[in-house]
Each structure stands twice: as structure tokens, then as C-alpha cells.
Amino acid sequence: MAVQPVLLAGAWRSSDAADTFRAVNPATREPLPDVFPVSAWADLDAALSAASEAYAVMRQLPAEALAAFLEDYAGRIEAHAETLAETAHLETALPVPTRFVGGEIPRTVNQLQQAAAAARDGGWSLPTIDTGSGLRSKLGPLGVVCVLGPNNFPFAYNGIAGGDFASAIAAGNPVIAKAHPSHPKTTQLLAELCLEALKASALPDAAVQLVYHMSNDDGLKLMADPRNAALGYTGSRRAGLALKKACDGHGKLAYLEMSSVNPVVLLPGALAERGEAIVDEFVGSCLLGAGQFCTNPGLVIALNGQDTDSFIQGVVAKFESSPIGTLLNEAGEQTLTRGIQSLQDAGAELLTGGKPGAGTGCSVSNTLMRVDGATFLTNAQHLQAECFGNSSLVVVVDDAAQALAVLNTLEGQLTGSIYSSADGSDDGTYDALEPELRQRVGRLINDKMPTGVAVVAAQNHGGPYPATGHPGFTAVGFPGALRRFAALHCYDNVRPHRLPALLRDDNPTGTMRMIDQVWTADDVAAAATA
């Protein structure tokens, strides 16, 4: 059977394949028909060289060209939403209408459009002008960016269509995308649309390239290569840390989104006030998409008492009566099963679940575990390990002081939630816990579960290590996400006609710039006169 080609330097070429693979339909465990290559180094070497050449052109392009390409590509994805969704459904078992056509694909289109708007506006680059010293600076493009997407979002985080991709391109960088081997066909369809948009654009053909898979060693070699500048990665902690190490050792930037258990603290007043509603919110959040979200609530902290017992009983009942979702692949099924066993080995009590799900698909029954605070504290490292999927652990603590002690053991997280009562009875406890939680999470949430990541400027889909590799940046939300893939470019006494457009005296785009310490959309002359 023919091996699918890779997209290198603007053309679909047969891969220098070290091996091949097929995706598996997780609902049937049957392999899907197409055979995809595991690229050998020659593919990656070719991609790096072509990307470097593309960069030399791309970094000189006006932002309008970048924006127009992203918008055109977004339109093509929108026009092919049904086909894309059906293909992704076969590779992920995620539902076509509710997940893809009605959710993730519009989000992906919107992200590309927001990235285009950010590129066109230019304010993301923080243009800064000091008229007295003759210094002007802005963030500019960085170089070749490798983007490796995760298994759980075949569109919104795809290496060739997701947020990292859109950010890197909008900032003026070429992208070498790696498909997630769980959904190569979906990625191939996206790449075909992307190539059409590239050919219709002012961008060089090699501005976006695609490979499907590579050996771990070649992945590390790719990071370390002088032609690579940065990595955008979403996935497991283990692979992420290996890639980070390869980047760090060679001065490459690594923006990684790795594991998170997203602690949810349920204060007693909130449970007394609206316990049943919180059960519903938690179950909805934890089982959504079979729990396969980076922001899945994997750790609940609640104070010992009747309301907490009722919460747990309510969740157990709903977990047992709720449908069991299909997991993304057999590897995920195995990892989740092992993770649940590992938490039990570390002292957690299985309340429900922990068994193979019914039917032929990849699945694990909806799982809830419980552990007391003292036990958690004796083995906090193991008991906070992420179980990616429809599973959660409730830590029942003796009191607020023990809750604080538990928070103090937590590694960096994407999110942390606190539910508190409306009547103010939880406020003292909130004030005691919030500062410690704040330090450990990127997004601090009140009275809401962590799933659902709005693509807005104030979003932070990021957090302290090891949730990510740098706590200062978000992977979701424009214009901020662009700033990851950028270098600060200062111009000192540079003659006016040689300056980039955003740093010249006139400001026809009305971009916000800091001129002599004042943010303004004015021209330099007008600002200096004012």
C-alpha cells in the first residue's frame, strides 16, 4: 500500500521513511486504511533547510501578507468543516456535531482569524519609541518554529492549524508541523487546505511544512539543530521534558504545555449552599470529552464533613449513571488504567470505576477515588500525578490548615478553582488559601470548573512549571500568544527609511505604541508635540 507523502518545501513528496504507521479508530480498535510515514532525518533536514530559506523571505513581509494568509486558510477550513469533522471522528471517536462542527472547528477558524487580526494590528509587538535617545524597539520574528500538537484537539491545537501554529505564523515565523500520529489523516486534510492558501498568498511555499511522525532521537535532533529557533508543544510531560532539555541545551525557546491536575477547592459554605449544583458542574466538567482535556478537574480538595460526603456520593451516582466516553486511543486507555492503579497503590481508595468500559471502543469506566489529607501529605508527589481521562481524586482534608498544606505540595498547574459561598462565610478560608493557590496556577477560577478555555486576550492557558515551560506566557488568547515566538529588536540611531513600518514616525495603522513612556496611537511628531 502506498505511503502517504509529506509536505516539504511547498510540495507533497514521498517521505524518506524510517518506518510507517496507521491510525486506529478508537471506537472499533480497527486500523484505518491510510499508511503514513515515520520520517527519517532526511525529511527533517530538508524541512529545516527549506524553512530557513522561507524565513529569509517571510521576515521581510508586511504583516498584511501574514494576516491575509491566515484568514484565507481559516476560510478554507470553514468551507470543509464537514469533511474534516468526519475524518477526525474516525481517528478520535469525538462526536462530529457537538465537538467538531459546533465547537472545535469554529474555534480553530476563530483562532486563525484572531491571530490574523493581531498580526495586522501589530500592537502585540509592543512598539516602543524613545525620541530623545533615538532608540526604537519592537518584538520581531524569531526564526523557524516547530509545532507538535497533542492527541486531544485534532484542530484547535493541531501543529498545522492550532493556536501555536497561528501564533508562530502571525509573528512572522515559518512552521514545521508534526502531526499527532493519532490523527494523521485529519492533519493531512488540513495541510492540503493550508498549501492551497499558501499558494494563493505572498508567503513562500515552505512557510508551512508537515511531517507525521519521527523517532524520539530525531525529535531531539530537530530541536537542537541550528536552523530551529523554537518549539511549540502540547502533550505529555515525559515527552515535553525531553524536548525541553534538548531545546534548553542549545539555547532554543521551548513553549510547552504539559500535565496539570487543575485542583478544585470546595469550601464548606459553597457545598452547604449549593452542593447538588456543584455535583452537576463537576460531573459535567470531569466527563466532558471523556475527561481528555488539559484543564480536566483531576483533583478535588474538600473539608471532611457531611456535605463533602454528600458531594462524593452524588458524584459516584452520576459517574455510574453517565455514559462512558470513548478514549482517543489504546495508549490513552493503558495510561489511564495504569494511572488509576498507581493512585490506589499510593493510598487512594477507589470509589467507582477503574475497570474497562463497556463495548468495543477504547474506554475506562468513569472513575472517582478518595484519599484523606494526611495520606495525601505523606505521598503528595505520587498522588498528584495526572490521570488523563474520565477520572478524578477527592482529597478530604481535616480543616483549612490541612487544605493549605495540601496546596503547598502541588506542582505548577494550568488552573485552580475555589468554590465559596455567596453569604461570605467562606471568605476567611478563601483569603487563607488563595495566595498559595495563586502562585501555583496560571488561571485562578472562582465558582466554576476549569474546562472551557475562552479564546480572549485576558486568557491564560499556561502556568508555572511543570504545567508549562515558562509561566510568563499563554498558549491561548491573542495578541499575547504571539509574543512567545518573537525576539526583541531594537534599532539605535537607525536611519528612518530603514526602520520597520511600526517604528517609523508616521503610524497609518493607528497601532498603540509607547512613545516617550506614553501609550498612544498617534504619529511620533504629533505625540512629541502634544
Residues 89-128 that bind its own copies (CB under 8 A): 123, 126, 128
For residues 156 and 106, give the distance between their C-alpha atoms in angstroms, rounded to a whole number.
Answer: 9
DSSP per-residue codes, 220-254: HHHHHSTTEEEEEEES-HHHHHHHHHHHHTTT-EE
Restricted to residues 2-61, the positions that interact with its own copies (CB under 8 A) are 56, 59-60
**Does the active-site annotation cover 146?**
no
Strand positions, DSSP E, 142-215 = 144-148, 175-178, 208-211
For residues 34 and 32, give the distance between their C-alpha atoms in angstroms, rounded to a whole number.
Answer: 6
Residue from 130, 276, 280, 330 in contact with its own copies (CB under 8 A)? 130
Can residue 471 be called a binding residue for its own copies (CB under 8 A)?
yes
The footprint of its own copies on this chain (CB under 8 A) covers a number of residues equal to 73
- Backbone φ and ψ for 183, nearest 5 degrees, come out as -140, 60
- Rounded to a whole number of angstroms, the minimum distance from the CB of residue 523 to its own copies is 16
**Does the active-site annotation cover 104?**
no
Catalytic residue, from 71, 257, 386, 411: name it: 257
- Rounded to a whole number of angstroms, the minimum distance from the CB of residue 406 to its own copies is 16
Residue 454, burial from CB neighbour count under 10 angstroms (0-12, 13-18, 19+) = exposed
Can residue 486 be called a binding residue for its own copies (CB under 8 A)?
yes
Instruction: Give the interface segment with its own copies, choosing from 231-239, 241-249, 311-319, 356-364 (CB under 8 A).
Output: 241-249
Angle among Cα 237, 21, 168 to the nearest 5 degrees reads: 50
Instruction: Give the interface segment with its own copies, choosing from 283-291, 320-328, 336-344, 435-443 (CB under 8 A).
Output: 435-443
For residues 175 and 160, give the distance between their C-alpha atoms in angstroms, rounded to a whole number.
Answer: 8
Strand positions, DSSP E, 174-331 = 175-178, 208-211, 228-234, 253-257, 264-266, 299-303
The one-letter code for the residue type at 57 is V
For residues 2 and 390, give the distance between their C-alpha atoms in angstroms, rounded to a whole number.
Answer: 37
User: Any idea which residue has 496611537 for its cell?
Assistant: 521
User: 141 pairs with which residues across the strands?
Assistant: 486
Cis amide linkage into residue 323, ω under 30° from 0? no
- Rounded to a whole number of angstroms, the minimum distance from the CB of residue 63 to its own copies is 17
First to last CA, the chain: 71
8 A C-beta contact, residue 440 and residue 469: no
Instruction: Give the residue from 467, 446, 451, 461 showing the smallest Cα distance to 266.
Output: 446
- Rounded to a whole number of angstroms, the minimum distance from the CB of residue 139 to its own copies is 7
Restricted to residues 375-394, the positions that interact with its own copies (CB under 8 A) are none
Catalytic residue, from 294, 362, 387, 411: name it: 294
Residue from 11, 358, 401, 454 in contact with its own copies (CB under 8 A)? 454
Instruction: Give the interface segment with its own copies, choosing from 39-47, 180-188, 353-361, 472-480 (CB under 8 A).
Output: 472-480
Question: Is the Cβ of residue 59 or residue 80 nearer to its own copies in the bound state?
Answer: 59
Can residue 171 be called a binding residue for its own copies (CB under 8 A)?
no
SS3 state of residue 219: helix
CA distances to 17, 228, 234, 350, 428 from 51, in Å? 20, 9, 21, 50, 55
Question: Is the Cβ of residue 245 or residue 355 nearer to its own copies in the bound state?
Answer: 245
Residue from 445, 501, 526, 528 in contact with its own copies (CB under 8 A)? 445
- What track of x and - describes contact with its own copies for positions 508 through 527 (by CB under 8 A)? ----x-x--x-x--------
Can residue 483 be called a binding residue for its own copies (CB under 8 A)?
yes
Can residue 79 be called a binding residue for its own copies (CB under 8 A)?
no
Residue from 215, 220, 466, 522 in contact with its own copies (CB under 8 A)? 466
The three cell numbers locating residue 355? 475497570
Residue from 1, 217, 321, 498 in contact with its own copies (CB under 8 A)? 498
Residue from 444, 501, 526, 528 in contact with its own copies (CB under 8 A)? 444
Residue 132, burial from CB neighbour count under 10 angstroms (0-12, 13-18, 19+) = exposed
Instruction: Give the interface segment with its own copies, choosing from 137-145, 186-194, 212-220, 351-359 (CB under 8 A).
Output: 137-145
For residues 460 and 475, give the distance between their C-alpha atoms in angstroms, rounded to a whole number.
Answer: 7
Question: Is the Cβ of residue 1 or residue 495 nearer to its own copies in the bound state?
Answer: 495
Instruction: Give the residue from 231, 230, 210 showing the smallest Cα distance to 46.
Output: 210
Can residue 220 be called a binding residue for its own copies (CB under 8 A)?
no
- Rounded to a whole number of angstroms, the minimum distance from the CB of residue 473 to its own copies is 6
Question: Is the Cβ of residue 37 or residue 463 nearer to its own copies in the bound state?
Answer: 463
Restricted to residues 247-306, the positions that interact with its own copies (CB under 8 A) are 248-253
Residue from 31, 97, 102, 472 in contact with its own copies (CB under 8 A)? 472
- Backbone φ and ψ for 191, nearest 5 degrees, come out as -65, -35
Instruction: Give the residue from 299, 302, 452 showing the smallest Cα distance to 388.
Output: 299
Restricted to residues 307-326, the positions that interact with its own copies (CB under 8 A) are none
Can residue 459 be called a binding residue for its own copies (CB under 8 A)?
yes
Question: Is the Cβ of residue 29 or residue 438 nearer to its own copies in the bound state?
Answer: 438
Can residue 462 be called a binding residue for its own copies (CB under 8 A)?
yes
Residue from 274, 382, 489, 504 in contact with its own copies (CB under 8 A)? 489
CA distances to 103, 280, 316 from 322, in Å? 22, 11, 10
Can residue 501 be called a binding residue for its own copies (CB under 8 A)?
no
Residue from 490, 506, 510, 525 in contact with its own copies (CB under 8 A)? 490
Catalytic residues: 257, 294
